[in-house]
Every structure is written in C-alpha cells, then in structure tokens.
Amino acid sequence: MADIESARTAFERFDQNGDGRITAAEYKSAMAQLGDPYVTETVAQAVINAHDGNGDGELTFDEFWASQNKGLNRTGPAGAGPARRAGGPREADRAVRGAAPGAQDSGAAG
Ligand SMILES: [Ca+2]
Ligand SMILES: [Ca+2]
C-alpha cells in the first residue's frame, strides 16, 4: 500500500520547481536523473495525461496520489451480478434404459 509520505517525497522529486505541479518537462528531467534518459517529453506528457484528473496537462499532488492508489479504491457501478445464460446447455434427455434385452439369466443351466 502506498503511503502518503513516500508519495509526497516522490512527488517533490518530480516537481522540480516546487510549484506543486509536475509538468512534462519536469517529469522527463526527473526520470533522466533517476537513470531513465529515454523518457522523452512526449512520453512524459502521455504519462501525465494518463493520471491527469482535470485535464490541465499537469499533475498536482492529488492527481499523483490518486494514481498511486489506483486499484485500491475502485469507483464505479457495483453490484452487477454475473449474467446467467438463459437456456444453457440442457441436460441430454436421459434415455431410460431399463432392463436390457436378453438379460443375463443366471441360474441353473440345462
Ligand atoms: Ca513544477
Ligand atoms: Ca491536472
């Protein structure tokens, strides 16, 4: 589980000018410092957009925190039960096999 203090530390690492928002340029630069120089600004923007709740192209701590907690608190319509198939495979009619013709007759022979 992500805890808010480590999230804030991480956030501050990204938010290089300390204005409380992570821009694509800051994200890219932070990733380069963390050893990933292959994150281009385009990629950075895409990552931010994926978590950007209000669509302003920058990540606030709230948005960052929400992204850390994704999957823990799912919001959405709940309670859709498993749909049952109507007319599922119906059991094959059991052929009632009674006494087979030519039942073995055990008993006295001849
Ligand atoms: Ca910033
Ligand atoms: Ca935002």
- Ligand 2 centroid–CA 106 distance in Å is 88
- Closest alpha carbon to 67 in 5, 7, 6: 7
- Closest alpha carbon to 14 in 24, 4, 2, 1: 24
Are 49 and 37 in contact by the 8 Å Cβ rule? The answer is no
Report the pLDDT value the prediction gives residue 69, as an integer from 0 to 100: 83
3-state helix, strand, coil in the chain (%, to 5): 35, 5, 60
Are 65 and 4 in contact by the 8 Å Cβ rule? The answer is yes
Beta bridge partners of 59: 22
- Ligand 1 centroid–CA 24 distance in Å is 9
Query: Where is pLDDT greater, at 72 or 5?
Result: 5
- Which residues are placed with Cβ below 5 angstroms of ligand 1, an ion? 15, 17, 19, 21, 26
Name the percent of the chain lying above pLDDT 70.
62
d(CA 105, CA 101): 11
- Domain boundaries of the chain, sorted by first residue: 4-68
- Ligand at shortest distance from the CA of 45: 2
Which tens digits make up the pLDDT trace of 10-52?
999 999 999 999 999 999 999 999 999 999 999 999 999 999 9
**What amino acid occupies position 10?**
A
State the DSSP code for 11. H
Q: Flag whether pLDDT at 77 surpasses 50.
A: no
- Ligand at shortest distance from the CA of 48: 2
Rounded mean pLDDT, 85-102: 53
**Which CATH superfamily is 4-68 part of?**
EF-hand (1.10.238.10)
Task: Give the DSSP letter string of 57-79.
Answer: SSEEHHHHHHHHTTTTS--S---
